[in-house]
Amino acid sequence: MWDAAHIVFDPFCINEQAIHGKVTLPNQQEIMVSFVYGLCDNRDRKHLWNDIISHASCNKKSPWTVLGDFNVTRFSHEHSNNCRVTKAMEEFNGALRSAELEDINSTGLKFTWSNMRRGTDAIFKKLDRALGNWQWFKLFGDSYAHIYNPGISDHSPISIQLMQQLQSTGRPFKFLNFWAEHPHFLDTVRTEWEKTYDGSPLQIIKLKLKGLKSQLKKLNTRPDLETASLRQMLKNVQLGLDDKPDDVDLRNQEFRLRSELATAARNEEAFFKQKSRILWLREGDSNTAYFHKVVTVRQSKNHIACIQNEQGAWLESQ
């Protein structure tokens, strides 16, 4: 159901386990939405996974959310009394990785389904969820899913809330690992550490760290911007070489820019890996784009660290 006075929903693909459609919001923003009802049989749900993966390729450039009852959990902690990771869970997670979907941060209840029994026979699971693709987190990073009380049903309703991003209160200083590879890093640290200050030993350390922080920020805090600039410069030089292949000066510029770009690209990858907090992928395998996407998702989830409901109470994100 939807209120046609506020949104326009145009379903374009309907099958046994999903309704896929396009929603036009009041501001004329178009988003793709898929409502899911996964069947109980694991073999039947494989058709749903293939369907989601197929639509993922079509919706790659559009904000897309997939929500509903998937009839399977993702993680062991989403089952009240069973920590086992099943084949069905592995297949579900594999499909989400292939479709590049991730959970939208949620508030409210932890479990979304129960078997309606009492005592030791009672079972609670998280079978219902809301997911978004990379474009969703890029454009609606401040959105969140709220899981309501089930009432008399065995399932909990879920709604996705779109909200304005909270104002930034400033960012704490964070040491960027790639700074240690900078040719001026050790000299910068040495210069600041050799300065003398008055006060207690603890206060002196504090003043030295404060001075060092400001100097480190001058080294480079956005290697991605440097990489983009060097790529453009290299492109221009190589276009010039195409017209003047014997130009020695352009050849020297190309050699220098290639070297600088290789260094900047490594710094960029290290920068986004650190921000993504991905530890199990190594640097050097051109993972920059993946790390950048994970950073985008992390930042969008951080936007809703503090959320109030209509009554003014603070909601806890899951």
Give, in order, the Cα–Cα distances in Å from 93 to each of 44, 73, 107, 135.
16, 9, 22, 19
The count of domains in the chain is 2
Per residue in 268-283, pLDDT (tens digit) is 777 777 666 655 556 5
Select the more confidently predicted residue: 207 or 90: 90
Predicted pLDDT of residue 231: 86
Quick one: 152 and 24 in the same domain? yes
Within a domain: 191: no
Q: Please state, in angstroms and rounded to a whole number, the distance separating the CA atoms of residues 30 and 32.
A: 7
Quick one: 273 and 146 in the same domain? no
Residue 24: strand pairing partners: 8, 30
Question: Of 165, 183, 204, which residue is a domain's last?
Answer: 165
Closest to 112 (Cα-Cα) out of 123, 134, 97, 127: 127
Closest to 107 (Cα-Cα) out of 72, 167, 156, 62: 156
Q: Which whole number is the average pLDDT over 255-262?
A: 88
Predicted pLDDT of residue 166: 39
Predicted pLDDT of residue 287: 62
Fill in the amino acid letter for 286.
S
Q: Which residues of 126-140 are buried (b: 16+ CB within 10 A; e: fewer)?
A: bbbbbbbbbbbbeeb
* Cβ(10)–Cβ(21) below 8 Å: yes
Question: Of 165, 182, 200, which residue is a domain's last?
Answer: 165
Within a domain: 104: yes
Q: Please state, in angstroms and rounded to a whole number, the distance separating the CA atoms of residues 282 and 269.
A: 10
Neighbours of 16 (CB within 10 A): 10
Quick one: 270 and 121 in the same domain? no
Question: Of 131, 165, 199, which residue is a domain's last?
Answer: 165
Assess whether pLDDT exceeds 90 at residue 182: no
Predicted pLDDT of residue 274: 67
Which tokens sit at 44? 């039947």
Within a domain: 88: yes
Cα angle 267-270-275, degrees, rounded to a multiple of 5: 125
Within a domain: 208: no
Percent of the chain with pLDDT over 70: 81
Q: Which whole number is the average pLDDT over 211-219?
A: 82
Give residue 23's domain range.
Answer: 8-165
* Cβ(17)–Cβ(36) below 8 Å: yes
